[in-house]
Amino acid sequence: MVKAKSKTKETKKTDIPVVDVYSLSGKKVDKLKLDPDVFNAKVRKSLLHQVIVMYRANQRQGNASTKTRADVRGGGKKPWRQKGTGRARVGSIRSPLWRGGGIVFGPHPREFRFSVPKKMRRLALAASLSAKTKDSEILVIEKDPEFKQPKTKEMAKILTALKTYNKRNLFICTNRDENLMRSCRNIKNLTVKACSDFNTYDVLSNARVVFSRETHDDIVKRLKK
C-alpha cells in the first residue's frame, strides 16, 4: 500500500527591516529592528490610491459657484420684437449666448467628502510606511528634541546634522509638545504631526519620515489595535 503524504504547513518568514538610529547630533548610535507587520507590509497601490483620493477630496471646500440665467440680474425686458427686425429672435439679454449672461452647467457649492472604512485606512497607513522603508526614506533618531522654549534655529541645526534639512520631511513626535511644534512651524518643507494624527497622505507627500525609538513603539501600538 502507498502511504499518503503528510501535508506539512510551511511557515513564511517575514524579513525584519533594520535601520540605523541617529543621535540629535547626526551620529550613528545603534540599530533598530522595525516591526515587520507595520514596516514590511504588502504595498497595495490601488488601496493607497483610494485612500489618497479620499484625503484630498476631504480637503476641498466645494464652494465654487456660478450664476445661471435665472440668477443674473437684469434681462426682464425683451430686447426687441420677435419679428420684422431681421435680427435673430431673443428673449433676454441674460441668455448664456450673450456677454454677461448666465453660465450653463457651471459649478455650484457641493460636498466632496466621502469616507473609507477604518480597516482600509489602517492597512493603507502600514503600506505607506512599508513603501518608505523599502525606499530607505525612514530616519530614526534616539529621542525627540526637547525645548524649554520655541527655538527654530536649534531645530534647523538638528535637521542639518541629520542631512535632511533641504528635503520634505514628516516629523512624527510621541506627544504634541507645544514648544516642539512652534520650533518647527517656520522651517520650510517640514511637517510635524503627533503619533495619533498623521495619515497616509502625510507619509507619501514627504520625502523623508523622521521619528524616535519611542514613537516607533507608539506607531506599532496604533496600527495593531
Question: What pLDDT digit, counting tens, does each position of 175-222 carry?
Answer: 888 999 999 999 999 999 999 999 999 999 999 999 999 999 999 999
Q: Which tens digits make up the pLDDT trace of 130-166?
A: 999 999 999 999 999 999 899 999 999 999 999 999 8
Task: Name the amino acid, one letter, at 102.
Answer: G
Domain-by-domain residue ranges, the chain? 19-43+117-223
Report the pLDDT value the prediction gives residue 42, as an integer from 0 to 100.
93
CA distance 40 to 33: 11
CA dist 181 and 206 (Å) reads 17
pTM: 0.81
Cell of 142: 534616539
Show the DSSP H helices in the chain as ranges: 36-39, 45-58, 118-134, 152-161, 178-184, 200-204, 213-223
169-173 and 208-212 as β-strands: parallel, antiparallel, unpaired? parallel
pLDDT digits (tens, 9 = 90+) for 55-83: 999 999 999 999 999 999 998 899 999 99
Q: What pLDDT is recorded for position 44?
A: 93
CA distance 176 to 4: 61
Q: CA of 8: how far to CAs of 2, 11, 15, in Å? A: 18, 9, 22
In CATH terms, the fold of domain 19-43+117-223 is Ribosomal Protein L4; Chain: A; (3.40.1370)
Report whether 44 contacts 127 (CB < 8 A).
yes
Sheet of 28-33: strands edge to edge? Answer: 28-33, 18-22, 138-141, 208-212, 169-173, 190-194
